[in-house]
Chains A and B, each alone.
Chain A
């Protein structure tokens, strides 16, 4: 893969960062303040799109290296996996921004300036995580992401909310310090610690050291990805305003963690080394356990957003599972699930937020009758719910199908069973929501759809999901990116290649 030195990766990362200060300074003029957000979103998206053609041609834009530490520069590189995540986050950031405007204004929330500033910083950091070319750059962006999200989580400022914020920081910052230790260690073993398809750590140290390193790195990225038993903060963080939860789950924090797990398994250790060290199966088992545990937990949850949160815990472990299996199809499925889950989960959260904005209701048992009063919102919700369960013609199916095929390539038949069971569980906790909303009679006839700001984003996300489900290579060619990312890993691990791509 050839590298093109250009400033576009920096532009993509810097756009969000550059508007933080202008947003803070234009707090008295809401229209201008929100304009900054949209400008930055458009610039970031433009930068992402402009780097796509090179990726389609098998090249990658790479930023000039800024020397930070001996042999460890700050550098961004738009490889297929990074570009997939970046493009996704740019598109969803724009959608979330317009939703945020409607949401904050209709509820009259305070501290809106700080909200938009922290939002921009969080998205910039997520873009940095996506494009980081080496472990140090990844770590820096990862830590900035943690802190930028904190004000968003504790937006309501009550002491219960601050407690949730503390638990969020406790998980993520402790994990961040372990990650720091692991990054330093990896950087000592292999100077540069550049993400390399197929991994760079093979033969760098004894097996024992590498296993310890793996555990440290996994805890570092896994706590953000909410892998059991490090998931405790995520349901607690549901105290955040809904657009924040939406972005947290679809793009920024949790997804950055899952993305980090993929980077770790495919680009730091590599499937080969993971198999040799005997790490693949334990990780896959951990992911499987998380999937089942979180699904069961979601069944019993009546709080709307918390049920969605447990669903995220379970869905993101598909990505971890794909990384653990490590066959090309499984990796491609996992990478594509970043996109699929992004569009579907943001739809679901937008719907939950619209319900709250229109009625103030937060519990599933209170939703009766709202399906008829808010038809667009609940139509979008239906798409998201079915997509999560992996119904064909929606993007969730594509990721799960490829995960299953990839698992079969590695003769892991149990994964297929797991996917089926999990799909059924998904239906079991999503369909009752639709049943209550659509078929149970409502008691309040005054409920209407909220403003267009709140209706358009979920409808857009749901339509995008349908398009992606019918043709996963539409638009930004997410499937192509996922596939070429998986292929690049496989190409560096030829003896392990047990199954080809279609």
Chain B
């Protein structure tokens, strides 16, 4: 079974993406079940790989039996299996939420069984692309998966119709530019070293260290992936994309998409290219851009009146925080970055499912639309509250622990960058306090009558969210609570793999 799992993890979603629309066209009713079963199977494969890598060490899998450096290799260590677990887990929730349909804007085309099947297929394709990025050990193959995931994401973003299509087009422009820059960078690397395999690349880089082309390659790769990771000031595509994406897809895209690109940055800059001078400089710059992003994202989130747009800006702040951790590169910082990826993915997914659903059902995205929801749907709102508190970093939610690690790492790093990061993270918590408590206060302590444009047509008391959204919201909130407290075993397993990985690469360098 251990031999089969790596192939299954990447193949299942890709094959499923083709099968589910077929099922939808032929059998109609079983689409949901088929999609959910597939996602559950992918999650099980990810879980199996995680355990297996934890118990017996990292797994190297040669695709088609062609070993590296000539063939494509997949590589499953603590780090990649952790992110795979996150992606596959979030996908299960997203698939559940897809039952809600993309019909929040009245501009969305009417849902038909085939359309539903195609959207579910797109989600599977997206998952397949992301898992591929996470697993692959080949820099060109990574580009292929990057494009697969991007194309699937454009489809999902555009499925809302109306302004969603514009947002999707904008995302497409940014994503294509990012992919091209990355590809150029890989081209330079290949021309320099004649290899695409990451391990091989790391071993050969020291011999071309003096070449100026290496600097160009590193910068191209860093800029390309930073666009996808929404590193400030390359974040322009993010707010509109997150806001106009239909709710079920938004919960998934906002949760994991940028993070997988941040993971790719960590792999390439933090591990493969870490030994190069250009790589070190880029990582240093990344800390400062991260600091700028943390502050700018927070400030702009405070300025937003619409809840989903506020959530989108808060994501830019969070991505800045993750990239600060990636840039610092110490064990503490990487733990913090990984932890924040998980904490932010769970909490932001929960909030986007919730806020998107409320926006669709209450006909508005303003904070005032949240007035009185606390008494109408206490459990849902309690779940959203937990997620919001995690975003602020209140203990004992997961967000507190990730901030703790990142703050410790900043102090340990010292120097101007460390101090700036420390101050920025504290400041971002304060800003998050302002913009999240504004929403929570409305939800729990205001009545709809307080709202300026209160109208008599407000919905009668009853559930705020339909089940397809309420279940992910509550489930994710529970995970947010548990992750923080029970994360030590994960961390114990992930970090040594990372450290031995970087140590091995620096040992191979002559």
Give the Cβ gap from A142 to chain B, nearest Cβ, in Å.
9
> Given A140-B396, A188-B411 in contact, is the A177-B429 Cβ separation under 8 Å?
yes
Task: Please state if A157 and B445 are interface contacts (CB–CB under 8 Å).
Answer: yes
Please give me the residue from chain A that is nearest to B491 by CB atom: A70
Interface residues of B in 440-461 (CB under 8 A from A): 441, 444-447, 450
User: At the interface, yes or no: B267 with Cβ under 8 Å from chain A?
Assistant: no
Q: In the bound complex, what is the Cα–Cα distance between A159 and B446 (angstroms)? A: 8
Give the Cβ gap from A10 to chain B, nearest Cβ, in Å.
14
Chain B hits for A147, CB < 8 A: 389, 394
A interface, over-half SS: helix
Q: In the bound complex, what is the Cα–Cα distance between A68 and B397 (angstroms)? A: 12
Interface string of A61-103 (1 = CB under 8 A from B): 0000011111000000000000000000000000000000000
Task: Please state if B430 and A162 are interface contacts (CB–CB under 8 Å).
Answer: no
Of A166-174, A283-291, A340-348, the stretch lying at the interface with chain B is: A166-174
> Given A154-B445, A162-B446, A165-B441 in contact, is the A180-B429 Cβ separation under 8 Å?
yes
Q: In the bound complex, what is the Cα–Cα distance between A169 and B408 (angstroms)? A: 25
Please give me the residue from chain A that is nearest to B440 by CB atom: A150
Give the Cβ gap from A355 to chain B, nearest Cβ, in Å.
27
Chain A, interface size category, equals: 20 to 34
Q: In the bound complex, what is the Cα–Cα distance between A66 and B396 (angstroms)? A: 13
Among B394, B444, B447, which residue has the most Cβ atoms of chain A within 10 A? B394
Task: Please state if B407 and A184 are interface contacts (CB–CB under 8 Å).
Answer: yes
Cross-interface CB contact of A157 among B332, B426, B437, B447, cutoff 8 Å: B447
Q: How many residues of B contact A (CB 8 A)?
A: 31
User: At the interface, yes or no: B184 with Cβ under 8 Å from chain A?
Assistant: no
Task: Please state if A144 and B395 are interface contacts (CB–CB under 8 Å).
Answer: yes
Give the Cβ gap from A21 to chain B, nearest Cβ, in Å.
10
Cross-interface CB contact of B444 among A24, A143, A151, A180, cutoff 8 Å: A151
Task: Please state if A143 and B394 are interface contacts (CB–CB under 8 Å).
Answer: yes
Q: In the bound complex, what is the Cα–Cα distance between A494 and B468 (angstroms)? A: 66
Please give me the residue from chain A that is nearest to B450 by CB atom: A159
Chain B hits for A334, CB < 8 A: none
Interface string of B383-424 (1 = CB under 8 A from A): 000000100111110001101110110011000000000100
Q: In the bound complex, what is the Cα–Cα distance between A185 and B404 (angstroms)? A: 10
Q: In the bound complex, what is the Cα–Cα distance between A69 and B393 (angstroms)? A: 15
User: At the interface, yes or no: A462 with Cβ under 8 Å from chain B?
Assistant: no
Task: Please state if B426 and A180 are interface contacts (CB–CB under 8 Å).
Answer: yes
Task: Please state if B445 and A165 are interface contacts (CB–CB under 8 Å).
Answer: yes
Chain A hits for B437, CB < 8 A: 166, 169, 173
Q: In the bound complex, what is the Cα–Cα distance between A69 and B392 (angstroms)? A: 18
User: At the interface, yes or no: B433 with Cβ under 8 Å from chain A?
Assistant: yes
User: At the interface, yes or no: B509 with Cβ under 8 Å from chain A?
Assistant: no
Please give me the residue from chain B that is nearest to A27 by CB atom: B378
Chain B hits for A24, CB < 8 A: 378
User: At the interface, yes or no: A181 with Cβ under 8 Å from chain B?
Assistant: yes
Chain B hits for A68, CB < 8 A: 401, 485, 488
Chain A hits for B389, CB < 8 A: 147
Give the Cβ gap from B437 to chain A, nearest Cβ, in Å.
6
Task: Please state if B395 and A143 are interface contacts (CB–CB under 8 Å).
Answer: yes
Please give me the residue from chain B that is nearest to A154 by CB atom: B445
Please give me the residue from chain A that is nearest to B434 by CB atom: A170
User: At the interface, yes or no: A239 with Cβ under 8 Å from chain B?
Assistant: no
> Given A68-B485, A165-B441 in contact, is the A174-B405 Cβ separation under 8 Å?
no
User: At the interface, yes or no: A232 with Cβ under 8 Å from chain B?
Assistant: no
Chain B hits for A169, CB < 8 A: 433, 437
Chain A hits for B429, CB < 8 A: 177, 180
Task: Please state if B426 and A178 are interface contacts (CB–CB under 8 Å).
Answer: yes
User: At the interface, yes or no: A139 with Cβ under 8 Å from chain B?
Assistant: yes
Chain A hits for B395, CB < 8 A: 139-140, 143-144
Please give me the residue from chain A that is nearest to B393 by CB atom: A180
Chain B hits for A180, CB < 8 A: 393, 403-404, 407, 426, 429
Give the Cβ gap from A227 to chain B, nearest Cβ, in Å.
20
Cross-interface CB contact of A181 among B394, B426, B433, B445, cutoff 8 Å: B426
Chain A hits for B426, CB < 8 A: 177-178, 180-181
Interface residues of B in 294-341 (CB under 8 A from A): 332
Task: Please state if A162 and B393 are interface contacts (CB–CB under 8 Å).
Answer: no
Give the Cβ gap from B112 to chain A, nearest Cβ, in Å.
42
Q: In the bound complex, what is the Cα–Cα distance between A24 and B393 (angstroms)? A: 25
Chain A hits for B396, CB < 8 A: 140, 144
User: At the interface, yes or no: A187 with Cβ under 8 Å from chain B?
Assistant: yes
Please give me the residue from chain A that is nearest to B375 by CB atom: A111
Q: In the bound complex, what is the Cα–Cα distance between A174 and B408 (angstroms)? A: 19
Interface string of B469-489 (1 = CB under 8 A from A): 000000000000000010010
Interface residues of A in 106-149 (CB under 8 A from B): 136, 139-140, 143-144, 147
Q: In the bound complex, what is the Cα–Cα distance between A169 and B400 (angstroms)? A: 18
Cross-interface CB contact of B430 among A174, A184, A185, cutoff 8 Å: A174
Among A151, A177, A187, which residue has the most Cβ atoms of chain B within 10 A? A177
Chain A hits for B332, CB < 8 A: 70
Please give me the residue from chain B that is nearest to A67 by CB atom: B488
Please give me the residue from chain B that is nearest to A189 by CB atom: B411
Give the Cβ gap from B137 to chain A, nearest Cβ, in Å.
30
Chain A hits for B430, CB < 8 A: 173-174, 177
Chain A hits for B378, CB < 8 A: 24
Please give me the residue from chain A that is nearest to B422 by CB atom: A181
Q: In the bound complex, what is the Cα–Cα distance between A144 and B395 (angstroms)? A: 7
Please give me the residue from chain A that is nearest to B429 by CB atom: A177
Give the Cβ gap from B388 to chain A, nearest Cβ, in Å.
11
Give the Cβ gap from A242 to chain B, nearest Cβ, in Å.
19
Chain A hits for B404, CB < 8 A: 69, 136, 180, 184
Chain A hits for B393, CB < 8 A: 177, 180
Please give me the residue from chain A that is nearest to B407 by CB atom: A184
Q: In the bound complex, what is the Cα–Cα distance between A162 and B378 (angstroms)? A: 19
> Given A143-B394, A178-B426 in contact, is the A69-B433 Cβ separation under 8 Å?
no
Task: Please state if A173 and B445 are interface contacts (CB–CB under 8 Å).
Answer: no
Please give me the residue from chain A that is nearest to B489 by CB atom: A67
Chain B hits for A174, CB < 8 A: 430, 433
Give the Cβ gap from B406 to chain A, nearest Cβ, in Å.
9
Chain B hits for A66, CB < 8 A: 485
Q: In the bound complex, what is the Cα–Cα distance between A178 and B412 (angstroms)? A: 18
Chain B hits for A177, CB < 8 A: 393, 426, 429-430, 433
Taking A136-B404, A180-B404, A180-B407 as given, write out 10 further A-B residue pairs in contact, using a Cβ cutoff of 8 Å, ordered by the A residue number. Answer: A68-B401, A69-B404, A140-B400, A151-B444, A166-B441, A173-B437, A177-B429, A180-B429, A181-B407, A188-B411
What 7 A-B pairs are tightest by C-beta distance, nearest first? A140-B395, A184-B407, A188-B411, A177-B429, A173-B433, A181-B426, A157-B445
Give the interface of A toward B (CB within 8 A): 24, 66-70, 136, 139-140, 143-144, 147, 151, 154, 157, 159, 162, 165-166, 169, 173-174, 177-178, 180-181, 184-185, 187-188
Give the interface of B toward A (CB within 8 A): 332, 378, 389, 392-396, 400-401, 403-405, 407-408, 411-412, 422, 426, 429-430, 433, 437, 441, 444-447, 450, 485, 488
24 A-B interface contacts by CB (under 8 A): A69-B404, A69-B405, A136-B404, A143-B394, A147-B389, A151-B444, A151-B445, A154-B445, A162-B441, A162-B445, A165-B441, A165-B445, A166-B441, A173-B430, A177-B426, A177-B430, A177-B433, A178-B426, A180-B403, A181-B422, A181-B426, A184-B407, A187-B408, A188-B412
